[in-house]
């Protein structure tokens, strides 16, 4: 009976030596390396909103990962080493356990959602899913890109924008997005705490870092009580606390 034969008989002698060599390589590693070698690695900067949203997604899914800080202020994202990983020179990037590198936080989060379907970030219903994606896109496509470091630096360098101009510019686009989101939430989930049913998901991954940034740029949040309440409820959860900028190893 084939199943009673030893493993090297069934798979051939050459495969037997490969199996044994792989086992030996694994056992020869230091225990710490052995445990970590299967972890994903997130290239992150503590105050980056897009890295922040990716950390939340990883945490909500209960995934373990290594964190590799990329110091934007020291232009580490422009180094040849990092550009080889992400030619756009932006964080985040996610290295998978086989070395594959993923870039662009929306693509990374969608990858996580498909690869690790437990603890889903999106509703199963197609219309509800499209609504949640649309609310996330209000932030991901129409707000965050306008307030990104390189845009603000460009305005200062080429148009002599002052810090006051930058703060007004940033608050303008955050307020436009938050006004729309407040209305969308009221129609999609009236009376609910989160954007969909009773737990946070994709939208909250995008919202919480954007609120952090709004506070940093001193945007008035009084007109957005629902968004502020979601942010507050999220910060009662470990996944969000662990992802907070000030809780990162590279935080000031």
- List residues near ligand GSH by CB under 6 A: 48-50, 72, 77, 90-92, 104-106, 148-150
Q: How far is the CB of 25 from ligand GSH (least distance, A)?
A: 34
- Identity of the residue, 105 or 143, whose beta carbon is nearer to ligand GSH in the bound complex: 105
CB of 82 to ligand GSH, least distance (A): 10
How many Cβ atoms are within 10 Å of 96's Cβ, its own excluded?
Answer: 13
Nearer to ligand GSH, 122 or 205 (CB): 205
The least distance separating ligand GSH from the CB of residue 116, rounded to whole angstroms, comes to: 19
Task: Rank residues 105 and 189 by Cβ distance to ligand GSH and give the closer one.
Answer: 105
CB contact burial 164-193 (16+ within 10 A = b; e otherwise): eebbebbbebbbebbeebeebbeebbeeee
Give yes or no for a contact between 140 and 110, defined as CB atoms under 8 angstroms apart. Answer: no
Give how far the C-alpha of residue 25 lies from the chain's centroid of Cα atoms, to the nearest Å.
33
CB nearer to ligand GSH: pick between 1 and 74: 74
Q: How far is the CB of 49 from ligand GSH (least distance, A)?
A: 5
Residue 50 or residue 219: which is nearer to ligand GSH going by CB? 50
Shortest Cβ 152–ligand GSH spacing (Å): 8
Q: State which residue has the least CB distance to ligand GSH.
A: 150
Which distant-in-sequence residues (6+ apart) come within 8 Å of 33 by Cβ?
Answer: none
Whether 210 contacts 143, CB under 8 Å: yes
């Amino acid at each position: 009976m084939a199943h009673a034969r030893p493993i090297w008989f069934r798979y051939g002698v050459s495969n037997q030596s490969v199996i044994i060599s792989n086992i030996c390589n694994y056992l020869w590693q230091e225990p710490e390396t052995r445990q970590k070698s299967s972890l994903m690695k997130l290239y992150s900067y503590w105050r980056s909103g897009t890295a922040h949203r990716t950390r939340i997604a990883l945490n909500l899914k209960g995934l373990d990962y290594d964190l590799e800080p990329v110091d934007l202020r020291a232009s580490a994202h422009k180094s040849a080493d990092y550009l080889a990983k992400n030619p756009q020179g932006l964080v985040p990037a996610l290295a998978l356990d086989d070395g594959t590198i993923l870039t662009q936080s929306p693509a990374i989060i969608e990858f996580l959602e498909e690869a690790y379907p437990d603890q889903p970030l999106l509703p199963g219903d197609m219309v509800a899913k499209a609504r949640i994606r649309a609310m996330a896109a209000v932030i991901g496509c129409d707000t965050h890109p306008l307030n990104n470091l390189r845009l603000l630096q460009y305005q200062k360098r080429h148009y002599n924008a002052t810090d006051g101009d930058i703060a007004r510019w940033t608050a303008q686009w955050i307020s436009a997005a938050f006004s729309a989101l407040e209305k969308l939430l009221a129609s999609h989930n009236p009376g609910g705490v989160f954007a969909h049913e009773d737990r946070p998901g994709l939208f909250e991954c995008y919202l919480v870092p954007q609120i952090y940034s709004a506070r940093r740029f001193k945007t008035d949040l009084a007109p957005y009580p629902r968004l502020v309440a979601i942010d507050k409820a999220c910060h009662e959860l470990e996944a969000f606390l662990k992802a907070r900028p000030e809780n990162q190893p590279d935080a000031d």
